[in-house]
Amino acid sequence: MSKQKRKTPQPAPGTETPDTKNLAAEASDVKTSEVESPEAKTSEIKTPEADSLETQTPETQTPEADSLETKTSKAETPQAETSETETSQPKTSEAKKPALWAALLDRIRRPGAPPRQPLSQTHPVLYMVVMLTSLTAVLAFLLGFVNGITAPLIEKLRQETLLASISEVLPGAAGEPEMVEGVWTAPVQTVRRAYSAEHDFLGYAVEVAPGGFGGPITAVVGVQPDGTVSGVRIIDMKETPNIGTKTQEPAFLDQFTGKAPGFVLGTGADDVHVISGATVSSTAVYNGAAAASSAALTLK
Amino acid sequence: MNQTLRQFKNGLLDQNPTLVLLLGMCPTMAISTSLANGLGMGACATLVLICSNSAISLMRKLIPEKIRIAAYVVIIAGFVTLVDMLLSAFLPALSQSLGLFIPLIVVNCIILARAEAYASKNSVVRSALDGLTMGLGFTAALSVVSIIREVLGSGALLGRRVMPDSFPGVLLLVLPTGGFLTLGFVIAATQKLMAGRKGGKS
């Protein structure tokens, strides 16, 4: 494709000037020796239209050739010219060159005509590869760019939500809770010590991520030093809307408040009741809360 | 103007994506358990439809025909991810309520279908309008199904109790099975309505 593209403009500047001169000289010297392809030649040098066409592209034309041509076209009327070309004898070797050259030049100049064949027509498979690759690359770049902007904001919001939830599950907690170093078994993710504004130890804020119906449910469990659960808040979940998501409503979560270590799922007065239709999600939240309670007990 | 009206009628009735073209069944079943969810999903899908239709219409002459589906999927998935990231960073409250639906939009075939059937053949403005009307049609259909399922299934509307307390709620309607049943009845009613309209005209 690229070879074809380059070929088109290249011969034009080199051959144009001598050719035009040659033709113009020919025209003025030997009128009868003109052309056997009338369209190409007459349009090139004789008719006024051709002349105006020539002058439209001054960068490819030398002034001498231009003035010569203007002279010849002025000297001869188009009518006389056509009659002469009709009677002229064939001069194949001389006529072929300008015909091709004129055709190429004509193709370039025509306002609507594409100067180069598009890649999609000459190399369709290459075009597909290039298009899909560049499309994907542009989108990937865009996504990376937007992610670079939004990721810190999202993380900041997540931290804010986490801190807000901690102060909800451990009422009175103030400031940044202090991380407890240690290796935790799933679903426990992190354990923080929460203090009140007067620096009294309130309890542990345990971040858990038990597996629910649609992936891990991230939650914060407040646990008092004796292992009693003081509250549960869901940070993030991808449960089924209106079924699994019922587990983040207070009606379900408030059951955990005040549960002593060793609480179980069941139907008794002191048990945690699952939501019918959302057994998996309810059990997941229970697992998280129970694991948080036992994790806090081991810290004593 | 006339064409604009026709496009609205197409999106809402004659070619309603859910009730007539039967596209996007998966999100319809999963989402239409409550009106709030239906409206949220509808709004998200409309936004993405307008964006993706416009983008695909802009690029319709550049995309080679043989790989158009792959190109559409890349564009749609890219848009959905962008919307997801921007929402959760700048509108966290909206993201909290719509966050669950956004990943579902990627698998919503309405968007791919409109890209293929409309946006790849029409101007940018028309395609954006098509996204809007089809999105509205989807939202309307989702709303009708959700209202039925929420009122009869949980006895509430938009989270507020509308049925008498003695009404227990039909759990079947909340589950996907109930979604199919409700949708079947709604489609039948729509067809009956439209057949009546056409019969009256001719």
Distance CA A192, CA A194 (A): 6
Mean model confidence pLDDT for chain A: 70
Residues of A in CB contact (< 8 Å) with B are: 120, 124, 127-128, 131-132, 135-136, 139, 142-143, 146-147, 149-151, 153-154, 157, 238, 240-243, 245, 276-277
Say which range, A51-55, A147-151, A156-160, has the weakest mean pLDDT: A51-55
User: A127, A130, A135, A245: which to substitute to probe chain B, counting the most B Cβ within 10 Å?
Assistant: A135
User: B39, B67, B161: which to substitute to probe chain A, counting the most A Cβ within 10 Å?
Assistant: B67
End-to-end CA distance of chain B: 24
Distance CA A265, CA A285 (A): 11
Tens digit of each residue's pLDDT (9 = 90 or more) over A200-259 = 888 888 999 998 888 899 999 999 888 888 889 988 887 876 678 888 888 888 888 888
B100 contacts A243? CB cut-off 8 A: no
- Of the pLDDT bands very low, low, confident and very high (cuts 50, 70, 90), residue A143 is very high
User: A142, A157, A162, A242: which to substitute to probe chain B, counting the most B Cβ within 10 Å?
Assistant: A242
CB atoms within 10 A of CB A161: 17
> If we measure between CA atoms, which residue out of B67, B197, B84, B96 comes closest to residue A151?
B84
Model confidence at A46: pLDDT above 70 = no
Q: Give Cα B30 to chain centroid, integer Å.
A: 12
From B154's Cα to the closest Cα of chain A, the distance in A is 10
A127 contacts B82? CB cut-off 8 A: no
Partnered with residue B35 across adjacent β-strands are: none
> If we measure between CA atoms, which residue out of A263, B95, A145 comes closest to residue A255?
A263
The average pLDDT across A85-90 equals 46
End-to-end CA distance of chain A: 77
List chain A residues with CB under 8 Å of B101: 241
B175 contacts A277? CB cut-off 8 A: yes
Cis peptide before A187 (omega within 30 of 0): yes
> If we measure between CA atoms, which residue out of A155, A160, A219, A158 comes closest to residue A187?
A219
What are the start-end ranges of the E strands in A102-228?
Answer: 178-179, 188-195, 201-208, 211-212, 215-216, 218-223
- Of the pLDDT bands very low, low, confident and very high (cuts 50, 70, 90), residue A116 is low
B86 contacts A135? CB cut-off 8 A: no
From B190's Cα to the closest Cα of chain A, the distance in A is 27
Q: Would you state the torsion angle of the CA atoms of residues B13, B14, B15, B16, taken in this order, to the nearest 10 degrees?
A: 20
A243 contacts B174? CB cut-off 8 A: yes
From B72's Cα to the closest Cα of chain A, the distance in A is 10
Nearest to B33 among A139, A157, A241 (CB): A241
Q: Between chain A and chain B, how many beta carbons pairs sit less than 8 Å apart?
A: 71
Nearest to B92 among A120, A157, A242 (CB): A157
List chain A residues with CB under 8 Å of B62: 131
List chain A residues with CB under 8 Å of B179: none
The sign of the dihedral angle between the CA atoms of B18, B23, B26, B31 is: negative
List chain A residues with CB under 8 Å of B33: 241-243
List chain A residues with CB under 8 Å of B64: 120, 124, 127-128, 131
List chain B residues with CB under 8 Å of A153: 89-90
Distance CA B86, CA B103 (A): 14
Q: Is residue A98 within 8 Å of residue A19, measured between CB atoms?
A: yes
Nearest to A242 among B59, B63, B174 (CB): B174
Q: Which residue is associated with the tokens 């993380």?
A: A155
The residues spanned by each domain of chain B are: 2-201
> If we measure between CA atoms, which residue out of A80, A25, A28, A73 comes closest to residue A47?
A73
Is the interface score ipTM higher than 0.85? no
Sheet holding A218-223, edge to edge: A178-179, A188-195, A201-208, A218-223, A229-236
B64 contacts A143? CB cut-off 8 A: no
Tens digit of each residue's pLDDT (9 = 90 or more) over B26-44 = 778 877 877 888 888 888 8
Q: Is residue A291 within 8 Å of residue A187, measured between CB atoms?
A: yes
State the pLDDT at residue B156: 76
Tens digit of each residue's pLDDT (9 = 90 or more) over B83-135 = 888 888 887 877 776 666 777 777 778 888 888 888 888 888 889 999 999 99
More confident residue, A107 or B1: B1
Instruction: Tell me the backbone φ, ψ of residue A160, rounded to 5 degrees.
Output: -60, -45
Question: Helix H segments across B24-170?
Answer: 25-31, 35-58, 68-90, 92-98, 102-106, 109-114, 124-154
Nearest-CA residue of chain B relative to A133?
B71
Tens digit of each residue's pLDDT (9 = 90 or more) over B137-185 = 999 998 999 898 888 887 778 767 777 777 777 778 877 788 889 989 9
B71 contacts A132? CB cut-off 8 A: yes
Q: Which two tokens stand for residue A219?
A: 């939650």
Model confidence at A137: pLDDT above 90 = yes
List chain A residues with CB under 8 Å of B31: 241
- Of the pLDDT bands very low, low, confident and very high (cuts 50, 70, 90), residue B75 is confident
User: What value, to the nearest 5°, has the Cα angle with vertex A194 and ends A191 and A197?
Assistant: 165
Nearest to B74 among A136, A147, A150 (CB): A136
From A120's Cα to the closest Cα of chain B, the distance in A is 8
Nearest to A154 among B59, B71, B88 (CB): B88
